[in-house]
Structure 1
């Protein structure tokens, strides 16, 4: 236990140090000048403070006041040593934050009894603090475990859709990273950016409910088939809705709204402008861009330049212009993501 002793009288310091050493398991730190003691307290944690009242630089009450303002010192027991009849001084010290008093001259028996009581108090404080830290760490770890399991479930759901969808797993990774870039560019809070990045892969989970002959058809869908395909946002919503998880709830909104258009001509609900949830507007840009530059059963891959031109052309019509601008502002990073998560099976259509 660190016992901070502050007194401008060398004889008093030596006496207090001697009494502290007799207590056992205590390490005295002695100072004749109160500013030096405060500097020590900035770098070390005192467990008990013994401070004289009459000192030239800072008196005892002012020392206590300044000591209490430093982080971690609010609960440290402080004993002021003063004359027994100094009532006004003791009131000032109590107001500054003193815990107890010892009269001059110091009685060794009283000193030992008071210090042992304060040491016991301090040990209980330290045990409570350490337990609080342990509990905080345990709760944080449990929270991380829950989040990790939640993310695993989301990835497994997304992979389940992949097995039926001709789109590749790398498409999901790319569009999730593009979504993150756009969210960052829009200035969203870090937690929301992370949620969008993690929820974006759920955008097409509703394709689980679309028949294979439509989902994998090489060529244009007829009107009836298109109507069935247009139902996949609602299926995704039904799968993910009503979750207590903020992440899955965001995934439900994305699944339902990522095919809505800024001008109100999208589906399934023909929402327009800011009536479309922002995560849906973000994912719409990321998803369409990557779909354009990727091979599908019904089309060849577009060049990056052609896909970028379409995004620019459709800003304010299909897409939220702010989302398109946010993506264009970090175009180098977009290209890095495209390169990092290239499809495993190369194709020769990228120049189309």
Structure 2
């Protein structure tokens, strides 16, 4: 049993707070934290700004190294390859962009969405790879991965991990309220969870697994349209149609970056050029 923990730091991702956007400052952007008191001379002001910029760069690098390692942990329960995780991240960022969210938040979603199933790392391999129907008690065990993932990721001041915790908890909620773990519906579900639900579903059904053969994109879009307004947010399904021309690029780039992620440690925002 997991200890009870309140969620007073829950993020309103429909309107991303400015503090999250500042986390994504590009290198070379003047730091918002630099001091500019009139009594400081130019040299001191420059040193302060440089130190603040260096601290931000180091913090960002540490965050991305943690992210890289967590993605590899999550991928270990998904056939040992991070491709699915990376595709879900890229599709989520593209969907957010199609929904006119700020690019900084799209980048954060690209970072956070690959960790949606991190909670599955605690589940038995035999359960995850079972080819036949799951028994009721097995389904109950599988469904705990949402709460476990949120618990593991949420105990952090890192805004990307906070967003990842929100996604882990909510990506199996359904628009009509019949999902889990909390039976949230419609806009009670954070936008991040509604987006990742569509991205994860689409990528899962178009790639083969121990549960099913892969279906083609046309069939997957027909399934999405059938579930529009029931399982999925209608606006996110519509956005998925608008980014259909980006699917080939996402798949190609995910394959390239998955091959090097475990060795180079590089984490790039390649979704923008997919």
TM range (shorter): 0.7 to 0.9
The counterpart of 2:142, out of the listed 218, 223, 229, is 229
Give distance in 2, aligned partners of 1:137 and 1:190.
Answer: 25
- State the 1:340 CA deviation: 3.2
Aligned to 2:71: 158
Tell me which of 218, 238, 244 is aligned to 1:305: 218
Aligned partner of 2:232 in structure 1 is 319
CA contact (8 A) 1:166 1:216 kept: no
* Alignment root-mean-square deviation, CA: 2.1
Whether the aligned pair in 2 keeps the contact of 1:327 and 1:334 (CA below 8 Å) is no
TM-score, scaled to structure 2: 0.76
> Relative to structure 2, which stretch is displaced further, 280-289 or 306-315?
306-315
Inter-CA distance 328–130: structure 2 relative to 1 (3 Å threshold):
farther
- Report which of the two structures shows the higher radius of gyration computed on alpha carbons: 1
Equivalent residue for 1:257? 170
Higher relative contact order (CA 8 A, sep 6+): 2
- How far apart, CA to CA, are the structure 1 residues paired with 2:253 and 2:105? 24
Q: TM-score, normalised by structure 1?
A: 0.59
* 1:127 CA drift (Å): 8.2
Q: Determine which of 170, 174, 195 is the counterpart of 2:108.
A: 195
Structure 2: any 5+ residue segments left out of the alignment? 1-37, 260-274
Pick from 161, 167, 184 the counterpart of residue 248 of structure 1.
161
> What's the CA shift for 1:210?
1.0
Query: How many matched pairs?
Result: 221
Measure the CA separation in 1 of the matches of 2:151 and 2:211. 27
String of CA shifts for 1:268-322, please: whole Å, max 9, x gaps.
1111000001111111111110000111111111111111111122111111111
Deviation at 1:167, TM superposition (A): 6.7
The whole-number CA distance in structure 2 between the counterparts of 1:133 and 1:160 is 41
Unpaired runs of 5+ residues, structure 1, are 1-124, 346-352
More strand per residue: 1
Partner of 1:7: none
